[in-house]
Structure 1
Amino acid sequence: MKTRTLKKDKVNIITLGCSKNMVDSEVLSGQLRANDIDVVHESGKKDHNIVVVNTCGFIDKAKEESINTILDQVALKKGGNLDKVYVTGCLSHRYREDLEKEIPEVDAWFGTMELPLMLKQFEADYKAELLGERLLATPRHYAYLKISEGCNRTCAFCAIPLMRGGHISRPIEELVKEAEGLVRKGVREILLIAQELTYYGLDIYKQRMLPELLHRLADVKGLEWIRLHYAYPSKFPLEVLDVMRERDNICKYLDMPLQHASDPMLKAMRRQITRAEMTDLIHTIRERVPGICLRTTLITGFPGETLEDVEELKGFLQEHRFDRVGIFTYSHEEGTSAHGLADDIPAAEKQRRAEEIMEVQQEISFEKNQEKVGQVFRTLIDKKEAGRWLGRTEFDSVEVDNEVIIHSKEKLPIGEFVYVKITKAYDYDLEGEVVDAPEKS
């Protein structure tokens, strides 16, 4: 018997993919810790004997990264450096049978909703009383709050419903309790996530309840910022804008993936909205919440996309001047309705189109950042890196948006707010200096 097997188990969780996966890993960590099992997240110390890989199966690149990570861990097991390798998450949920045959060295595979089954591998009990309790893998001052699971939308390109199932909202009381617990741990900002925020409540309350949820969360004492990610544009509940305008701790920030702008593409993608309707919605959002930061995500290279469609998308960006834009190249996913179409655009051409579109956005982003020079922003300090302090404004989310670079000889408190005057602007970042809080008018 190996000496290491006589030691107490230590589990390392490796998380791939989106923030929703991150929350799942945090919940697993909390359950293991409650069962007196030592657990870490993405540890580099190599003092663990068990690994759980939480995979992503969203697009081809994510699948490849997940499989490579699994193979790396299997190699460590073969070399005697690990006792067990378990795999969970979206890739495992979707391709379990194939993966079991291809990588038999993995000790067990689990789907996205099989946490209790996974715990049995550790001879651990699922503790329902820990609802909302998690070990944060993020810095202690911000956390993701997943308000629902799954999705009822039928977008032609998306395989998420195949991996996560239909939409299931979490009760408001449960979410408020979790938010209160996060604040007690030192969290100042929560980022609301779901496959589709605006559908929240339709299943359990029979009406869209995101506005009510926001009001309840805004009442949580000590919660400084509430940020909205992944809103669907069709039938957007406009009452959300009133809450955002009325409540000071709800960031004037909205992440609303639009995916495309040409009507033929929107129809082919099954987005249930037209360009004209999106334009009306954008104008309404900006009228009701002056100064709001709008982030969107786009897809290029969808089957049948023409160069005219690309030009229309570029024109749409120039017309609406979004603050933040992310872009994906189309991935041909089995089980989606688009998989029946010919994937007729070469990968290199998809990438060329994406880069061409982002060149348009890069210029817009630079111009918008230049407008911020001389302004003062309340800024949350995230970390110190390479001798510089890095923070974010109300208009910037974690990892995907601008950072504020601050040069300061004084130690700045990580997880606290300071006021920063912007002195320089780049395409995607700002630079500034700490100043006194502006006087309230």
Structure 2
Amino acid sequence: MKTKSIKRDKVNIITLGCSKNMVDSEVLSGQLLANEIDTVHESGKRDHNIVIINTCGFIEKAKEESINTILDNVELKKRGKLDKVYVTGCLSERYRNNLEAEIPEVDAFFGTMELPLILKRFEADYKGELIGERLLSTPQHYAYMKISEGCNRTCSFCAIPLMRGKHTSRSIESLVEEARQLVQRGVKEVMLIAQELTYYGLDIYKKRELPKLLNALADVQGLEWIRLHYAYPSKFPMDIIDAIKDRPNICNYLDMPLQHASNNMLKAMKRQITREEMEDLIGNIRYKIPDICLRTTLIAGFPGETRDDVEELKTFLQKMRFDRVGTFTYSHEEDTSAFDLVDDVPADVKEERAQEIMEVQQEISLEKNEEKVGKTFKVIVDKKEAGRYLGRTEFDSVEVDNEVIINSSKKLHPGDFVNVKITKAYDFDIEGEVVG
């Protein structure tokens, strides 16, 4: 007599938002797999019966994407295509009560720090010995490393402290061990991420210890590139720059979101710094490392922003000549201090201003890329696409920065390092030939 087989659960994790969310999903995947629960990430095969959606709640567009993703999967559940839908991450942390009332078909909502509770739903145990082990959703040759959680800053536009809590650093020992594990798995580049890198260590070591962490990570054999993302400019510790300069495997790259350059806007945003202080800081950094790549992020359309503020920001960009710039339009977020201000810049004007800013940067980027023509750079190969290889220099991070179009007569593989002589420059990319 035939017996009906019981189908095992298979979990698909969908990640929305930033790289910090991606790391959370990778850790969750590792824990589920260690508990012998079949788990995939962003699977399009539809052979899973459970979905966990790791949401973003940072700005309005991200919240809309998260809600639409939840509704799409709830609809699949209604049609019998899924058994369970779970929701975690920042949107769930921030709006759990509202979401539970409005989308009751979701089986459970979890906050940003409730990994053990998610595991309990699967009758699984949180395995402390797995700290640092995760199922990478990135290509094998690079990974993100989250060195701390939360943020103690009080920027008026930002809701992250509401969703992620106070700053909490991981120990140097745990991060070094994770880096060693990643290298053993083939990782050659790590991108250090946090809500605020420069605060690292203040809570557990009673002083800023990012330089000490950087030197410890730079000692890990086989770790070829270490990259820094999200450093706060106010009272920036210059010994971070000394560590970058002294260690050859720390990329000459710093991501420092400035948000604006008008003193009126910086004060309203509660950034604790002036335009003049930012210019001095950038000058000091470039004095120590002349060829460092500086990336920044800017907000267009903050409450009260005038045409004069926009022109001042554009002048600042032309003077500072950042290597990389990203912009996003202001999102009016409840429970932030800026929510008390009148959101008086229309949405279409915000978009126009963001476009204006990027047009200024586009010219700067092209000029900087043209300066690279004829020079040779060490490039990491990321992928082959449409018959050509794509990679990055140490001055470019994944997805957000320039790519190098690599022409090569020999076969290359993701994770290979090659020397590329640049032959062409574009607005946001460069092209070259493999040499040597």
Query: Which interval holds the TM-score relative to the shorter structure?
Result: over 0.9
CA shift, 1:102, in A, is 0.8
Which amino acid is the alignment partner of residue 142 of structure 1? Y
Alignment partner, residue 133 of structure 1: 133
Alignment partner, residue 384 of structure 1: 384
CA shift, 1:410, in A, is 2.1
In the comparison of the two structures, how many residue pairs are matched?
434
Residues 123 and 281 (structure 1), Cα distance of their counterparts in 2 relative to 1, 3 Å cut: same
Alignment partner, residue 263 of structure 2: 263
CA shift, 1:6, in A, is 2.4
Worse overlay, 69-78 or 3-12: 3-12
Alignment partner, residue 364 of structure 1: 364
Alignment partner, residue 153 of structure 1: 153
Three-state SS of the structure 2 residue aligned to 1:203 is helix
Which amino acid is the alignment partner of residue 370 of structure 1? E
Where does structure 1 lack aligned partners over 5 or more consecutive residues?
A: 437-441
Alignment partner, residue 352 of structure 2: 352
Pairing of 1:16-165 with structure 2 (within 5 A): 16-165=16-165
Which amino acid is the alignment partner of residue 202 of structure 2? L
User: C-alpha offsets along residues 35-89 of structure 1, whole Å, 9 cap, x if unaligned?
Assistant: 0000000011111000000000000000000000111111111111110000000
Which amino acid is the alignment partner of residue 304 of structure 1? G
User: C-alpha offsets along residues 390-432 of structure 1, whole Å, 9 cap, x if unaligned?
Assistant: 0000000000000001133421121110111111110001111
Three-state SS of the structure 2 residue aligned to 1:342 is coil
Three-state SS of the structure 1 residue aligned to 2:204 is coil
Q: Is it true that 1:175 corresponds to 2:171 in the alignment?
A: no
User: C-alpha offsets along residues 117-173 of structure 1, whole Å, 9 cap, x if unaligned?
Assistant: 000111111011111110100001000000000000000000000000000001111
Q: Is it true that 1:321 corresponds to 2:300 in the alignment?
A: no
Which amino acid is the alignment partner of residue 393 of structure 1? T
Alignment partner, residue 184 of structure 1: 184
User: C-alpha offsets along residues 16-37 of structure 1, whole Å, 9 cap, x if unaligned?
Assistant: 0000000000000000000000
User: C-alpha offsets along residues 180-207 of structure 1, whole Å, 9 cap, x if unaligned?
Assistant: 1100100000000000000001111111
Three-state SS of the structure 2 residue aligned to 1:6 is coil
Q: Aligned partners of 1:82, 1:368: CA distance in 2, in Å?
A: 50
Q: Aligned partners of 2:327, 2:178: CA distance in 1, in Å?
A: 32
Which amino acid is the alignment partner of residue 187 of structure 2? V
Alignment partner, residue 420 of structure 1: 420
Three-state SS of the structure 1 residue aligned to 2:216 is helix
Three-state SS of the structure 2 residue aligned to 1:390 is strand
User: C-alpha offsets along residues 359-384 of structure 1, whole Å, 9 cap, x if unaligned?
Assistant: 00000000000111111010000001
Pairing of 1:158-307 with structure 2 (within 5 A): 158-307=158-307
CA shift, 1:4, in A, is 10
Residues 206 and 407 (structure 1), Cα distance of their counterparts in 2 relative to 1, 3 Å cut: same
State percent identity of aligned pairs. Answer: 76
Worse overlay, 411-420 or 154-163: 411-420
Q: Give 4+ residue runs of structure 1 displaced > 4 Å after superposition.
A: none
Which amino acid is the alignment partner of residue 402 of structure 2? N
Which amino acid is the alignment partner of residue 105 of structure 2? E
Three-state SS of the structure 2 residue aligned to 1:77 is helix
Q: Aligned partners of 2:375, 2:11: CA distance in 1, in Å?
A: 47
Alignment partner, residue 439 of structure 1: none
User: C-alpha offsets along residues 77-119 of structure 1, whole Å, 9 cap, x if unaligned?
Assistant: 1111110000000000000000011111100000000000000
Q: Aligned partners of 2:405, 2:72: CA distance in 1, in Å?
A: 35
Where does structure 2 lack aligned partners over 5 or more consecutive residues?
A: none
Q: TM-score, normalised by structure 1?
A: 0.97
Which amino acid is the alignment partner of residue 243 of structure 1? A
Q: Aligned partners of 2:182, 2:429: CA distance in 1, in Å?
A: 29
Q: Aligned partners of 2:132, 2:349: CA distance in 1, in Å?
A: 44
Q: Aligned partners of 2:5, 2:136: CA distance in 1, in Å?
A: 28
Three-state SS of the structure 2 residue aligned to 1:104 is coil
Three-state SS of the structure 2 residue aligned to 1:101 is helix
User: C-alpha offsets along residues 309-348 of structure 1, whole Å, 9 cap, x if unaligned?
Assistant: 0000000000000000000100000000000000001000
Q: TM-score, normalised by structure 2?
A: 0.99
Residues 82 and 241 (structure 1), Cα distance of their counterparts in 2 relative to 1, 3 Å cut: same
Q: Aligned partners of 2:43, 2:407: CA distance in 1, in Å?
A: 30
